[in-house]
Structure 1
Amino acid sequence: MQATAFTYDPETRGGSVLLDDGTPLPFDAAAFDAGGLRLLRPGQRVRIRTDGSADTRRVVFITLQTFPDPMGPKV
């Protein structure tokens, strides 16, 4: 799934993304670390994986669109 980086705090390595429908969704350091990123700028397009649904939905993986998702489909 794709989204846009909305906020990012380099000290906590957490932040939030905006889904394409405008819904904000937070991510924590574990999700950031899973994607192999070192920095994220608001406005960057990202690839995410989520877990849960509705109010319990959370980002479990975030990386740049150009980086592979090891759990995603092979291209």
Structure 2
Amino acid sequence: MQATAYTYDQASRSGSVLLDDGTPLPFDAAAFDAGGLRLLRPGQRVRVETDGEGDSRRVTFVTLQTM
């Protein structure tokens, strides 16, 4: 699914994204590393994969959105 990078901490390689419905979801270093990114800037469009539902939903993969 698509989302927008909302926050990113380069030191911890973690942050959060906003899904297209406005739902914020955090991601950790493992999800960031799985996408092969080196840097992420707030506002960039990204593609994410999630696991779980409701409050236990988490981002497992984040990479740049490509056309």
User: Which bin holds the TM-score, normalised by the shorter protein?
Assistant: over 0.9
* RMSD of equivalent CA atoms: 1.1
Q: Normalised by the size of structure 2, how large is the TM-score?
A: 0.97
Give the structure-1-normalised TM-score: 0.87
- Asked which structure has the greater RCO (Cα within 8 Å, sep 6+), the reply is 2
Tell me the distance in 2 between the aligned counterparts of 1:35 and 1:13: 12
- Bigger Rg, which one: 1
**SS at 1:40 equivalent:** coil
Gapped regions of structure 2 (runs ≥ 5): none
2:27 match: 27
Between Structure 1 and Structure 2, the one with more strand by share is 2
* Aligned residues with identical type, % of pairs: 81
Superposed, which structure 2 residues align to 1:61-72 within 5 Å? 61-66=61-66
* Correspondence for 2:4: 4
